[in-house]
Amino acid sequence: MDKLPNRPRPPLRAVLFDAYGTLFDVYSVAASAEQRFPGRGEALARLWRDKQLEYSRLVSMADAGGRLYQPFWDLTRASLRHAAQTLGLALDEAAEERLMNEYRHLSAYPENRRVLQQLRALGLPAGILSNGDPAMIAVAVKSAGIADLIDPLISVGPLRCYKPDPRVYQHGLEVLRQTRPELQARQVLFVSSNGWDVLGATWFGFTSFWLNRAGLPRETLDPPPTHEGRRLDDLLPLLGDPGGAADA
């Protein structure tokens, strides 16, 4: 872990995106939830997401050996059920399937494709490093129309633990090194809208970009993100001129 934030950073050579919340809008399920449960859609989407993250952390923390690991899809279903019960909503099988199907085909943020095209034009590899299962990620990028622009798709599945376990970020680096053996962690720009994920990536040693779409306050746990922006486009200036990618 890098304790020298003021050391000049080397040019960025690759980009890894978080998926859920970053490329795909996890709260886009709220609209569908609102149709089924008028007045409660947003609350359900929020509790669902919170519980999904909690469960992913609990199984990771409680057994580093992966025996308690469950695929993200299963945790997503379990957390939907808990969120509905917490709000006292009757979630029958049809409603559960409809919401799970919405989660499989989350809305993508509109600027994704344009930004990914520009990364492609710059010759930079742009992949996903996600807590999602391989099948979830594959369906999501296809559904969002960005499958041709994003590669590699890296899932925690084979590791049986979840971000921010540092083994996940290490795995992302190793996959990129299969084609770029000299790549250093600091040459990878890790992009996430999730403050906790940016923390984990920064702790690990990646150069980080916090995509703060909602204008939220920074996490009060150090270190801060290397870079921060409000839109995905804001990361392009860091990459267009490799010499200019110094600390924010």
The minimum distance between CB 228 and its own copies, in angstroms, equals 15
72 binds its own copies (CB under 8 A): no
Residue choice 82, 98, 104, 186 for contact with its own copies (CB under 8 A): 82
**Token pair recorded at residue 199:** 């923390």
DSSP-assigned beta bridge partners for residue 84: none
**Token pair recorded at residue 6:** 């003021």
**What kind and span of H or E run contains 190?**
strand 188-192
Q: Which CA distances in Å does 84 have to 40, 90, 223?
A: 10, 7, 35
**What kind and span of H or E run contains 60?**
helix 41-62
Measured at the CA of 107, the angle between CA 106 and CA 108, to 5 degrees, comes to 115
**Token pair recorded at residue 218:** 């920074």
Q: Which of 126, 100, 102 is nearest to 112 (CA)?
A: 126
The minimum distance between CB 81 and its own copies, in angstroms, equals 5
71 binds its own copies (CB under 8 A): no
Residue choice 1, 90, 94, 121 for contact with its own copies (CB under 8 A): 1
Site for its own copies in 194-213 (CB under 8 A): 196, 199-200, 203-204
Please identify, among the stretches 8-16, 147-155, 164-172, 235-243, the one whose residues bind its own copies according to the rule CB under 8 A: 164-172
User: Among residues 112 and 207, whose Cβ is nearest to its own copies?
Assistant: 207
DSSP-assigned beta bridge partners for residue 99: none
The structure tokens 């509905």 sit at 84
User: Among residues 31 and 58, whose Cβ is nearest to its own copies?
Assistant: 58
Torsion sign, CA atoms 248, 183, 193, 152: positive
DSSP-assigned beta bridge partners for residue 17: 128, 191
- How far is it, in rounded angstroms, from Cα 185 to Cα 179? 14
Please identify, among the stretches 8-16, 33-41, 60-68, 103-111, the one whose residues bind its own copies according to the rule CB under 8 A: 60-68
User: Among residues 113 and 186, whose Cβ is nearest to its own copies?
Assistant: 186
- Judge whether 18 counts as a catalytic residue: yes
Given the residues 18, 133, 165, 197, select the one marked as catalytic.
Answer: 18
63 binds its own copies (CB under 8 A): yes
54 binds its own copies (CB under 8 A): yes
Q: For its own copies, how many residues bind (rule: CB under 8 A)?
A: 36
Residues binding its own copies (CB under 8 A): 1, 50, 54-55, 57-64, 67-68, 70, 75, 78-79, 81-82, 85-86, 162, 164-166, 196, 199-200, 203-204, 216-217, 219-221
